Chains A and B, each alone.
Chain A
Amino acid sequence: MKKTTQGFIVVIILQLIILFGMAGYHMLILKTGTPITLKVQPVDPTDLFRGDYLTMRYDISQLHKKDFADPGVLENLAIGADVYVPLKQEGAYWIQAGKATVLKPTKLPNAKSSNNELYIKGTVENNYINYIYPESFDNQPPRSIAYKGKKPDAENMDRTIELNFGTENYFIPQNKGASIDWRYDTVTARLRINKNGAAVLEQLLVNNKLWP
């Protein structure tokens, strides 16, 4: 066999490994992962090349100091860092079960008391300071003046951590984006989560019915 042909075959095998690896990893989670349902708040943009998709955010996508086991680490929590959020089932939906951590939990919170608990792994998408106004907003100086030349008092500061779970986009058949009425429909997402907290978005539900 010619040398170029050998090289060509190797490069094709490499491509197959990448594509099969990508598809296989997600398929495995879809087959073996635990199904959970989360409430979503969608927006509806369009990707020129990939048709219509929804960008959504979950109730657990925005966390604050109080939601973390160790709020001290938040100041240096870099964008792209991993955060683990414990979840528990409450009725039809899953909600945050306890404090989020930046280290992978070795033991789930209250693991003995319930089997319906697991954690979801997210990455930090945004990390910013919030100034908590002690009284009514109108009585406070503009933020730029309040901050100028000094650090805000620790007790007036909170942090917002925005998380991305890799399941924020849902691709829908072209031109069907308009068939959901976001004002009245309840939109939820069914995810599958594996033992390591990796999630795959399986299905979107509108008013508890599969959609589209």
Chain B
Amino acid sequence: MSEQHILDEIKQRYSRHETKEAIYLELLKHGATVDDIAAAYKKAQQTNAKTTEEKTVAILITFGAILIGVGIFAFVASNWPELTKTTKVAILIIGMLITYMVGWYLREKTNHQKIGDAFILLGTIFFGANLYLIAQIFNIRVDWREGMLIWLIVALAVGITTENRSNYYGSILIAFVAISSYFEDLFTALDPENTFYTLHRMPHAEMATILFTACAGIMYFIANQERQTQKQQEHRAILTNIYGIFGAVMVVLAWIAAQQTLAIALPNFLPRLMGGLTVIAISYAFESRESLIIGLLAIVQSMVSLELRWQHLEQVWGSPAIATAALGIIYYVVGTTNKKPPYATTYMVIGTLTLVGALFFASSREGIDIIGTIVAHPFTKPLTSTLLIGTLIIAAAILTRAIRQKQITAAESGVIFGYLALFAVTIAIAPRTPQLATVGIMSYQSIGLTTNALIFGAIYNIALLAGIIGIILSGYRRRAPWRINLGAVLIMVFIIVKYTDWFFDFLDKSVFFISAGILLLIIGWIMDRSRRALLSAIHRQS
């Protein structure tokens, strides 16, 4: 065993936090001498200490640069009355240039790369501060959201040209704030009022479209570059993942802004759908699993938005819950047939959450009331009927294909067919009247449900609970921990939601808690049995 080989081996084991004794024993087994190991061990320790020290220094310096930036930001913001506008602008811009020059000098001409990087980050912080301070000097409006996007583009561009990682990390913060400021625009599609009054428009939508597209493009470029050099470095992976998510959100926002640029009353579902499809395409092109999550969620949002619009037009309530549940099933089945493991899991997790989310709504008091008014008559209510029946048929077709290809277990396909049958029956036979008894114009909350509604409510609640237990059981069957964990969390959510939703009025607290406790014990017993069965099966195989 060569000296370098021993050193590499020790470094690797060191990073896995193995004990000194274990490392010695392992290397001795491979024929290394005690002296060689001791020498290499000392060297590895020194290198490790050096790396840790470097990291600490980098963190301290970056943090220091950010603090200085924030301090100057706050100081200039106090708007000194003594200076003229020209002087203020000159001070701000010269300050930024000097900071950049110092950073460049330290990086290129001296040996202080980390400090140089910190100064370049500080220069970028100066740029952002200057944008807003110049806006302040000229009394330009306060809610200047595009300013954040311009700042983000510059921060990313500086990061790329100088290969400065501090700038990438700083950009994450800027991107987070920028996206947060557009949060309302992301979710306006779910506002039923907005399905009619599509006049809501983000200001400067044309500019926002260009900026979002540019931000997303640069972020994917960096994420892709990082992925290629990623290997086993964890921090690079984190950056790739975060940029994958932010880039995807930016793509959806770019579509929303583009729709509003047109300034005509296009339905709100369209940009979400286009954004979702674009992001899914990107997720495959760049192998970005994180983007796939955003793409699938954007399509769910688009579906709900479309349904809300159509139900207003046709006065049919309740169809979003069933159509969304069917979409969840489609995702899940697509996941089971997907060959790439991380993508398959993403489809299945998002599919499960979409289905369960829709069922949570459908099994609630309001959900039952609304579902009762679904009318699936294809002639009088063509839009809603087409969407409802269409999603169910697509879900059934995809499921049949998966069964034929033997990519889904019999139990799973049975449960999914059960759901589809339940939805079809609901559409076909649901009474066409609200299910909550009403007195005059009084709110129904305290009055209660009709007998029909109680039957529907019971069926939907049982279907939901059975589905959640099914997720846990399939976790044991498929040996997929995410299913067991997700199922356990959903059980807890189920108990809490159902307690506030149904049992609050007409069940004594003690009865509820005892029932919930018994339910958990039964589920625990089933889980334990499955675990034992799994273990004995493995034992038999071995």
- Contacts A22-B134, A23-B89, A169-B140 given; indicate if A49 touches B78 (C-beta within 8 A): no
Q: Mark B69-89, 1 if CB is under 8 A from A, else 0.
A: 000011001111100011001
> Is B204 close to A, CB under 8 A?
yes
Main secondary structure of the interface of A (DSSP, over half): mixed
Decide: B73 and A27 in contact? CB cutoff 8 A: no
Q: Does B132 contact A (CB under 8 A)?
A: yes
B357 CB → nearest A CB, Å: 30
A76 and B265 within 8 A (CB): yes
Question: Mask for A175-203, Cβ within 8 A of B = 1, else 0?
Answer: 00000000000000000000000001100
Interface centre among B139, B140, B260 (most CB of A within 10 A): B139
B465 sits at the interface (CB 8 A): no
The stretch of A6-14, A33-41, A89-97, A103-111 that contacts the partner chain: A6-14
A8, B89: Cβ atoms closer than 8 Å: no
B139 contacts A51, CB within 8 Å?
no
In the complex, whether B205 has a CB less than 8 A from a CB of chain A is yes
Mask of B87-100 contacts with A, CB within 8 angstroms, 1/0 = 00100110011001
Contact B160 A7 (CB under 8 A): yes
> Which of A18, A47, A76 interacts with B131 by CB under 8 Å?
A18
Determine the residue in chain B with the shortest Cβ distance to A79. B201
Cβ contact within 8 Å between A79 and B203: yes
Contact assessment for B138 and A169 in the assembled complex, using a CB-CB cutoff below 8 Å: no
Q: Interface code B435-452, partner A: CB below 8 Å = 1, 0 otherwise?
A: 000000000000000000
Q: How far is the CA of A172 from the CA of B86 in the complex (A)?
A: 17
Interface status of A170 (Cβ within 8 A of chain B): yes
Residue count of chain B within 8 Å CB distance of chain A: 50
State whether the Cβ of B202 lies closer than 8 Å to any Cβ in chain A.
Answer: yes
**CB nearest to A200 among chain B residues:** B138
Least distance between A17 CB and chain B CB atoms (Å):
11
Q: Are A27 and B85 in contact (CB-based, < 8 A)?
A: yes
B156 to chain A, nearest CB (A): 10
Set of chain A residues within 8 Å of B108, measured between Cβ atoms: 2, 5
User: Which of A50, A55, A80, A173 interacts with B260 by CB under 8 Å?
Assistant: A80
Q: Are B127 and A15 closer than 8 Å at their CB atoms?
A: yes
Minimum Cβ distance to chain B for residue A168 (Å):
6
**Which residues on A sit within 8 Å (CB–CB) of B135?**
22
Q: Which of A27, A50, A77, A168 contacts B132 (CB 8 A)?
A: A50
Q: Does A171 contact B (CB under 8 A)?
A: yes
Interface string of A132-171 (1 = CB under 8 A from B): 0000000000000000000000000000000010111111
Q: Within 8 Å of chain B (Cβ to Cβ): is A4?
A: yes
Within 8 Å of chain A (Cβ to Cβ): is B500?
A: no
B88: nearest residue on chain A (CB-CB)?
A23
Q: How far is the CA of A144 from the CA of B263 in the complex (A)?
A: 29
Residue contact A49 to B85, C-beta cutoff 8 Å: no
Cα A127 to Cα B157 with chains together (Å)? 38
Cross-interface CB contact of B81 among A77, A81, A173, cutoff 8 Å: A173
Tell yes or no: B104 within 8 A of A by CB.
Answer: yes
Q: Which of A11, A47, A125 contacts B157 (CB under 8 A)? A: A11
Residue B154 interfacial (CB < 8 Å): yes
Contacts of A8 in B (CB 8 A): 100, 104, 158, 161-162
Over the window 149-175 of chain B, the binary record of Cβ atoms lying under 8 Å from chain A Cβ atoms (1 yes, 0 no) is 010001001101111000000000000
Task: Please tell me if B25 contacts chain A, counting CB pairs below 8 Å.
Answer: no
For residue A23, which residues in chain B have a CB less than 8 angstroms away from its CB?
85, 89, 134, 137-138
Are the C-beta atoms of B131 and A19 separated by less than 8 Å? yes
B134 lies within 8 A of A12 (CB) = no
Q: Does A174 contact B (CB under 8 A)?
A: yes
Report the 8 A-B pairs with minimum CB-CB distance, sorted nearest first. Answer: A7-B161, A26-B138, A201-B139, A79-B201, A80-B201, A78-B201, A80-B203, A174-B78
Residues of B within 8 A of A (CB): 73-74, 77-81, 85-86, 89, 92-93, 96-97, 100, 104, 108, 127, 130-142, 150, 154, 157-158, 160-163, 199-205, 260, 263-265
26 A/B residue pairs, CB under 8 Å, sorted by A: A4-B161, A8-B161, A16-B97, A18-B154, A19-B92, A23-B137, A23-B138, A49-B74, A50-B132, A50-B136, A51-B77, A51-B78, A53-B142, A55-B142, A78-B199, A78-B260, A79-B199, A80-B202, A123-B203, A127-B199, A166-B141, A167-B139, A169-B142, A170-B139, A173-B80, A200-B139
> With contacts A18-B131, A19-B96 known, what are 6 further pairs, Cβ within 8 A?
A15-B96, A23-B138, A49-B132, A76-B264, A79-B202, A81-B263
